[in-house]
Amino acid sequence: MDLNVMFHPKSVAVFGSAGVGKLANVLANRLLDGGMNRVYIINPKGESVREAKGYTSLSELPAKADLAVIASPAKTVNDILENCGRSGVRAAVIISSGFSEVGNAEGERELTETARKYGIRFIGPNCAGMVCTHANLVATLETSPPSGGISLISQSGAIGGSFMSLAADDGVGIAKFISYGNGGDLTVLDLLRYLKTDDETRVAALYLETIPSGREFMHAVHDVSAVKPVVIVKSGRTNTGQRAALSHTGSMAGADVVCDSAMRQCGAIRVDTLQDLLDVCKAFATLPPARGKRVSIVTNSGGPGVMTSDKAETDGLLVEETSDCVKAKLREFLPSFAGIRNPIDLTVEGTGEQYGQAITTALEDSDAAIAIYIGTPYLDAMPVARGIASAAKKTGKPVAAVMQVGSDINESLIYLRKEGIPCFPSGERAVSSLAALARYEEKLLRSNEPCLVVTRPADVKKAFPEGENRLLEPVAMKLLRENGISVPDFVFSSEEEQAVQAVRELGYPVAVKVVSPQIVHKSDCGGVMLNIRNDEELRDSFRRMAKIGEGRDFKGIVAYPMLKPGKEIIIGLTSDPCFGPMIAFGMGGVYAEVLRDITFRVAPVSQNEAIKMIKEIKMYPLLCGVRGEAPVDMNALAEIIAKFSMLPFIYPDIREADLNPVFVYENGAMAADVRILGK
């Protein structure tokens, strides 16, 4: 079914008791107030609500209903859906609660089956409804906002209501609001994909407490954000917040650091609060693209200019000193006491014309501008607003306005909004939004890669023999080698004489380790001996290892040439409950332990993405060489990360694995130890 029918119905049937104060009554009123002309009420008594006539069944309606809004008791919903199906209604919003959220998964499954049978698509159950301002559709109890380009999909109805209330207070326009409740049919993914093709939506906003099917979610976000920005609040960031979210939604939550990596990887713009969500969406919905990070600040007061500059640096925007050429032009029309270095400070005497000219001129150097006006008794706000709007029009670049103080700024705010200039109550908030704009454009420029290289290769293999879930070190090393991951030469021998022959060929000196499925921490029990220099020492080491392995299924020894020490790296593979296989990268030793200087990606990653991971860790300068050292071989390291990240896809029976340490050198890198565990 084309979801357009759901969002642009010509007629709506509301199911439920229509008495005053009842849900269906409120919904009918909201629909009528919102401007929906054909609203029908259906309930056993056939009660009406205002001009919306009451009926006792769908079949009595004078015309077909395009959308059913169901607010009747849970036990009646499936029958209503059946009737809808038989009457040709193909879209429904099920407000009614009493389904999976209270353990009635069976009742919810029935709804889904009924809907499938008839080709009905529905939102809910247990949701706060939906809004499509462009279709005069207000099928929710929440605040009705003005019409515009922001669409919000929210896991929480109340958050949706709060968002629309903030938007209404700020005069910001909404295209759609969708509270998907339990997601019995249409999920956040379906809805997000719909927003991609929806011309009324300029920016997609999401509020989520849990992320369903992580990888599919990433693909959807990546896909949509190639066309329009996807801005997300994902709460439950902290342990405390997760506990609150769990007791509230009953869903599983993974680590937030993983979620954060995944969001960045698929191009989502993550923000922390609803206010941030609105600010950023407002900028995206109204402004032209920001082609770079240089921002000019034009103000009539030094203090706010300083604070805005501070925030700009914090958020990664560049407040560069004005170029000589622009300075010269500014001097032509600004008084000598005006500051022209950026911030450009017009002082309390700055006129509307000066604002306009200064912004236009400054934008010759910059990619975006923030105009700050602090009301003074000397100035009128309106001429300043006109100057700002004219500069924005003339330059075609993003200009954000900050208008503070004074009873006369309200008119200016209304004017600026009408002219498509987003207004913020502080320079800092303008900065956050422009920074998001600039980052999004930057992302668009470089996102020719898919966000996940591959999910399953054509033919998969088994890493583990039947019934086993731990690979012996030589087997694991062989698996790495077969998959192109650089490992040292090694020999495995189950008997002493064989070991001597093999190691002679390998060449002394060697390191020797015990091989036993029952010994995990080899060093702790003396199962590692270094610098074995000759046959005699090797025989001795073999016997010692056999002794250590006694009664613990001793398999033999593995011997490696002595490796020269390099920088110690850890690379790990884990599995997140939401996103599946994850790859982690960090410096080894105390860096990993104390600093937790580790970066994550949803696996697998390309070599390019692996290079980004390497550059992300705090200790990255150490890899670049400090105190005259040469930099390490980043490409060799990235190759190991990328190839290692493929393993869970080639071998789906791998649960987790780590290379600890990997030694990385000026030339080359090599996994010096490995652990691979099965499911």
* Six-digit token string for 349: 């005497």
Q: Return the residue of 100, 144, 261, 301 that touches a second copy, per CB under 8 A.
A: 301
As given in the structure block, the two tokens for residue 248 are 């509230």
By CB under 8 A, the residues from 449 to 488 that bind a second copy are: none
Residues 278-297 that bind a second copy (CB under 8 A): 297
What minimum distance in Å lies between the beta carbon of 144 and a second copy?
11
CB half-sphere exposure, 529, CA atoms < 13 A:
21
Residue choice 304, 527, 556, 588 for contact with a second copy (CB under 8 A): 304
Q: What is the DSSP-derived secondary structure letter of residue 589?
A: T
**CB 109 → a second copy: shortest distance, Å?**
22
Q: Please give the single-letter amino acid code of residue 444.
A: L
Work out whether 314 is an interface residue with a second copy (CB under 8 A).
Answer: yes
Ordered DSSP codes for 99-150:
SGGGT-HHHHHHHHHHHHHHT-EEE-SS--EEEEGGGTEEEESSPPPPEEEE
Nearest CA to 206 out of 192, 220, 225, 226 is that of: 192
Residue 78 in contact with a second copy, rule: CB under 8 A: no
Q: Which of 32, 506, 563, 622 binds a second copy (CB under 8 A)?
A: 622
Question: Is residue 145 a contact point for a second copy (CB under 8 A)?
Answer: no
Phi, psi of 674 (to 5 degrees): -150, 150
Residue with tokens 């080709």: 119
Number of residues that bind a second copy (CB under 8 A): 78
The token pair that represents 424 in the structure block = 């913020």
Question: Both tokens of residue 573?
Answer: 């593979």
17 binds a second copy (CB under 8 A): no
Residues 249-278 touching a second copy, rule: CB under 8 A, are: 249, 272-275
Scored b (16 or more CB within 10 A) or e, 281-295 reads bbbbbbbeebbebbb
Quick check: 207 binds a second copy (CB under 8 A)?
yes
Residue of the chain from 324, 458, 627, 667 that contacts a second copy (CB under 8 A):
627
Site string for a second copy, 406-445 (x = CB under 8 A): x------------------xx-x-----------------
Minimal distance, residue 141 CB to a second copy, in Å? 5
Nearest-approach distance from CB 663 to a second copy, in angstroms: 17
Closest CA to 578 of 157, 346, 261, 300: 261
Closest by CA position to 250, among listed 109, 155, 141: 155
* Nearest partner of 515 among 465, 464, 474, judged by Cα: 474
Q: Which residue has the tokens 């206010």?
A: 275
- Taking the C-alpha atoms of residue 599 and residue 315, their distance in angstroms, rounded to an integer, is 21
> Is 172 an interacting residue with respect to a second copy (CB under 8 A)?
no
Assess 170 for contact with a second copy (CB under 8 A): no
Least gap, CB of 461 to a second copy (angstroms): 37
Specify the DSSP class assigned to residue 58.
Answer: G
307 sits near a second copy (criterion: CB under 8 A)? yes
**284 or 591: whose CB is closer to a second copy?**
591
Q: Which of residues 21-40 bind a second copy (CB under 8 A)?
A: 26
Q: State which of positions 324-383 bind a second copy (CB under 8 A).
A: 337, 339, 341-343, 345, 348, 374-377
Q: Does 248 bind a second copy (CB under 8 A)?
A: yes
CB-CB neighbours of 464 under 10 Å? 18
Q: Does 72 bind a second copy (CB under 8 A)?
A: no
630 is a contact residue toward a second copy (CB under 8 A): no
Out of 110, 223, 260, 310, the only residue in the binding site for a second copy (CB under 8 A) is 310
Which residues between 104 and 143 bind a second copy (CB under 8 A)?
Answer: 141-143
Nearest approach in angstroms of CB 404 to a second copy is 5
Bridge partners for 294 per DSSP: 318
Comparing CA positions, the residue from 530, 469, 486 lying closest to residue 656 is 469
CA dihedral (271, 272, 274, 275) positive or negative? negative
Q: Which of 51, 79, 113, 321 binds a second copy (CB under 8 A)?
A: 321
Touching a second copy, residues 147-166 (CB under 8 A)? 154-159, 161-162, 165
